[in-house]
Amino acid sequence: MNKIKSGFISIVGRPNVGKSTLLNKIIGHKISIVTNKAQTTRNNIRGILTEKEYQLIFVDTPGIHTSKNQIDRFMNSSAMRSMKEVDVVVFMAPADETIGKNDLFILNELSKKNDIKKILVISKADVVSKEKLFLKATEWNTYEKIFDEIIITSSTENINIDKLIETIVGFLPETGHYFYDEDSITDQPNRFAIREIIRESVLLKAGQEVPHSVAILVDELEETEDEINIVASIIVERKSQKGIIIGHQGKKISDIKYKSRKQIRELFEKDVNLELFVKVQENWRNSASLIKKMGYDKDKY
């Protein structure tokens, strides 16, 4: 058997602890959208890192948080399910925040899992002083019995990322094969990638005005050898939010369209024709059928 190690790694934690940033850093490509807003990730996104001696398949999960509606419950359920049938769980906790109730909830779940390897990653080490970092590490050492390894990291400053990868590889079984083709970096379909790019552009452009009552539907998608044609809808819950996204004289929606086209063109390396429409769907986050239509299917993972 070839001495190839391969396996699945779930990245979990409460919202906005740096899970997507870490995944993108490890893979070397933008797999998961990143904003400074909590609950950006809504699906379990697989990112794949392949080297000669190993293949790591990462699952970047939604942040586990107090659920207020159907989409929140989907996100929590999706994140919790990701900890099943994986080889390693990476639990992320930021160095600049206190240990909260959502952290304790995840720790309790992890303490029940004796059949998988668990790594605590104290993230965002670059944003606190060495003294505060030492105090945070000491605080987390209270829970060291739950984990097989504790690593302090910073994705932006590339602190201990290689050490984290090396540790994960050490925990994986020798399978003798890859699960995915060597050039694969994700198993998500094109439609999903396009949807996430547009959603990120909306979140970045709309700021705090339209936080997470936004979803994207890709209504039409045609791809040829040279170009890709897309018609998509931006779904909001209130008419006031529609006005915010369109902006004065359509400036904001034009900016969203420009930024989205640019990223889609870079991803697919093709010319992009993109049409965007903003539609109001009241209370969509509590509509199970609409949530499924938007790709957040509880049976998918």
Q: CA 234 to CA 254: how far, in whole Å?
A: 13
Q: Is 61 annotated as a binding residue?
A: yes
* Interacting residues of 257 by C-beta distance below 8 A, sequence separation 6+: 274, 276
Q: According to the annotation, is 124 in a ligand binding site?
A: yes
> E strands within 117-260?
117-123, 149-152, 215-223, 227-236
Nearest-CA neighbor of 287 among 296, 278, 300, 279?
296
The annotation status of 14 as a binding-site residue, yes or no, is yes
**Which CA distances in Å does 273 have to 144, 186, 229, 265?**
52, 24, 5, 9
Cα 287 to Cα 194: distance, rounded to the nearest angstrom: 22
- Residue 123 is assigned to a ligand binding site: yes
What is the separation, in whole angstroms, between the first and last Cα of the chain? Answer: 30
207 is in an annotated binding site: no
> Which 3-state string (H, E, C) describes 266-294?
HHHCCEEEEEEEEEECCCHHHCHHHHHHC
286 is in an annotated binding site: no
Tell me if 20 is assigned to a ligand binding site.
Answer: yes
Is 232 annotated to bind a ligand? Reply is: no
User: In one letter, which amino acid is 255?
Assistant: D
- Cβ contacts of 129 within 8 Å, gap of 6 or more: none
Residue 3 assigned ligand-binding role: no
**Which residue has tokens 């999903």?**
192
Count other Cβ atoms within 10 Å, centred on residue 165: 16
- 63 has binding-site annotation: yes
**15 annotated among ligand-binding-site residues:** yes
What is d(CA 93, CA 160) in angstroms, rounded to the nearest whole number? Answer: 15
Please tell me what DSSP assigns to residue 206: H
Query: Which residues sit in the known binding site for GTP?
Result: 13-20, 60-64, 123-126
Query: Which residues sit in the known binding site?
Result: 13-20, 60-64, 123-126
